[in-house]
Copies of this chain bind each other. A is one copy, B any other.
Amino acid sequence: MVQTMAQGRNETGIAAAMGILKQQFGERFHTGASICEQHAHTTTWIVNQPPDGVVFARSTQEVSEVVRICAAHKVAVIPFGTGTSLEGHVNAPAGGISIDVSQMNAVVEVNAGDLDCRVQPGVTRMALNTHLRDQGLFFPIDPGADASIGGMAATRASGTNAVRYGTMKDNVLSLEVVMANGEVIRTASRARKSSAGYDLTRLMVGSEGTLGIITEVTLRLQGIPEAMSAASCSFPSVEAACETVMAVIQYGLPVARIELLDALVVKAVNSYSKLTLPETPLLLLEFHGSNAGVAEQAETFGSLAADFGGSGYAATTSAEERNKLWQARHDAYWAMLALRPGCKAVATDVCVPISRLAEAVVATNDKASELELIAPIVGHAGDGNFHASVLLDMDNADEVARAQTFVSWLNNFAIELGGTCTGEHGIGQGKRPYLVKELGGAVDVMRAIKRALDPDDIMNPGKILPDGRTDL
């Protein structure tokens, strides 16, 4: 009888694969407890589930070899970039081998004339942007963390710029992927668009390592805009801020960023980043374009915001002031943690139709109060995407139970509003309970694809699919 992941650890297979990997990769194959633990984690209450060993791969060929060895012994493989995912994507519930691609960090080529580039999966987004700057180009997707491009593709990441530039699904032209049998495929050509067969690029983007391991990414790039300006605008209520966002989207104003901070986050940010913003709901904005275009966008936003009681609005093209504002936004996580020293922040992520955003954020604030939880909210409001971060004493079992109730309520509520249980974090382990509620029978289609492409369930098992063979 074939041993599958659902039956738990395949001890014999793991021992055999580890012996071969030790021989083949020598010092680049690690089995120490500390390195294995570093290669597993979640930011939820799911425990650390370390792999049995970690290979630091240096080439597509090496990734393929590791997968072939593991496939032969029916051992799980878990890809690892920077480990900045949140929902347990890098945990190894059935043990197995973590393939760390952080040393595959070359920018292979930049085609300035085509606004595209080809990178290895371990390149981080900041390293890429540093590499591109001299050519007047940038890669716009910004999930906050300095994540690897491979990981960002695997989780369909997005972040603050998505309202203007889209998500990873919109910015990956093509992928090189090692499949479950070790075969290496390229999903698409470098053409900007194609109707040639099934869109394997988009199938792999967001598949979280469960269908294959991404070993090279071809990305679309953008020219650095002639001008950028930033602004903040305070609102009397979350509703007023969200109504402004809806007006902006309906108007077609091409904002590059439009971020919502609730009053509690503004308070945290003021304290942490030494700012003096009014402690009411806030929108943070960025405009990209020509000098005249940016000025016009900023002015249009001002008049839209005024209709909803926006105040304290001023746009600035000063790079210093712009960076200060966005640094404060990026530091919001640390600022929130500082609201309750010693706590852990469990950030959950939902996305709703924009017309339901105000209702969703208000109800989420109310639910947190009802459960006596502190759960500040930040949102990529232009997409209807927001995060509630529960500030939690993990040693307080009652509080953890209330937080679990809260997270479960929020995910289900977002789905009931016609939204999704994850706008950008991915399903991983933590969001699996919500997938069937959101997508019903479509999950059976996902299972059929998983079985077809990974019949022995070795590719990052226990992620995405909520039950059956991969449920652990």
Residue positions of A touching B, CB distance < 8 A: 111-116, 155-158, 162, 166-167, 169-170, 179, 183-200, 202-203, 205-207, 211, 222-223, 225, 246, 249-252, 254, 290, 292-293, 296, 300, 351-355, 383-385, 415, 418-427, 431, 434-435, 438-446, 448-449, 451-453, 464-465
Q: Across the interface, do B190 and A441 meet the contact criterion of CB distance under 8 Å?
A: no
A–B pairs, 12, beta carbons within 8 Å: A111-B353, A114-B384, A115-B250, A156-B194, A167-B193, A185-B441, A191-B351, A193-B385, A195-B206, A202-B203, A223-B250, A293-B293
Q: What 8 pairs between A and B have smallest CB-CB spacing?
A: A202-B202, A452-B452, A113-B355, A194-B420, A223-B252, A191-B351, A185-B442, A156-B195
Number of this chain's copies in the assembly equals 2
Q: A207-B198, A464-B197 are in contact. Are A192 and B293 (CB under 8 A)?
A: no
Q: Using Cβ atoms and an 8 Å threshold, which residues of chain B touch A453? A: 445, 448-449
| A296 touches which of B190, B290, B426 (Cβ 8 Å) | B290
Q: Across the interface, do B441 and A183 meet the contact criterion of CB distance under 8 Å?
A: yes
Q: Across the interface, do B384 and A192 meet the contact criterion of CB distance under 8 Å?
A: yes
Q: A112-B250, A192-B384, A353-B116 are in contact. Are A186 and B293 (CB under 8 A)?
A: no
Q: Measured between C-beta atoms, what is the minimum distance from A434 to chain B in Å? A: 8
Q: Across the interface, do A464 and B193 meet the contact criterion of CB distance under 8 Å?
A: no
Q: Across the interface, do A446 and B355 meet the contact criterion of CB distance under 8 Å?
A: no
Q: Across the interface, do A186 and B440 meet the contact criterion of CB distance under 8 Å?
A: yes
**A60-B346 Cα distance, complex, nearest whole Å:** 41
Q: Using Cβ atoms and an 8 Å threshold, which residues of chain B touch A423? A: 191, 193-195
Q: Across the interface, do B420 and A189 meet the contact criterion of CB distance under 8 Å?
A: yes
Q: Which residue of B lies closest to A179 (CB)?
A: B445
Residue in A192, A434, A443, A464 whose Cβ sees the most chain B Cβ within 10 Å: A192
| A193 touches which of B158, B439, B448 (Cβ 8 Å) | B158
Q: A196-B439, A198-B449, A418-B189 are in contact. Are A113 and B179 (CB under 8 A)?
A: no
Q: Across the interface, do A354 and B446 meet the contact criterion of CB distance under 8 Å?
A: no
Q: Across the interface, do A445 and B200 meet the contact criterion of CB distance under 8 Å?
A: yes
Residue in A157, A194, A465 whose Cβ sees the most chain B Cβ within 10 Å: A194
Q: Using Cβ atoms and an 8 Å threshold, which residues of chain B touch A252? A: 222-223, 225
Q: Measured between C-beta atoms, what is the minimum distance from A68 to chain B in Å? A: 15
**A203-B206 Cα distance, complex, nearest whole Å:** 12
Q: Measured between C-beta atoms, what is the minimum distance from A256 to chain B in Å? A: 12
Q: Across the interface, do A196 and B452 meet the contact criterion of CB distance under 8 Å?
A: no
Residue in A162, A441, A445 whose Cβ sees the most chain B Cβ within 10 Å: A445
Q: Across the interface, do A189 and B424 meet the contact criterion of CB distance under 8 Å?
A: no
Q: Using Cβ atoms and an 8 Å threshold, which residues of chain B touch A211? A: 198
**A111-B249 Cα distance, complex, nearest whole Å:** 13
Q: A203-B198, A203-B202, A425-B195 are in contact. Are A186 and B442 (CB under 8 A)?
A: yes
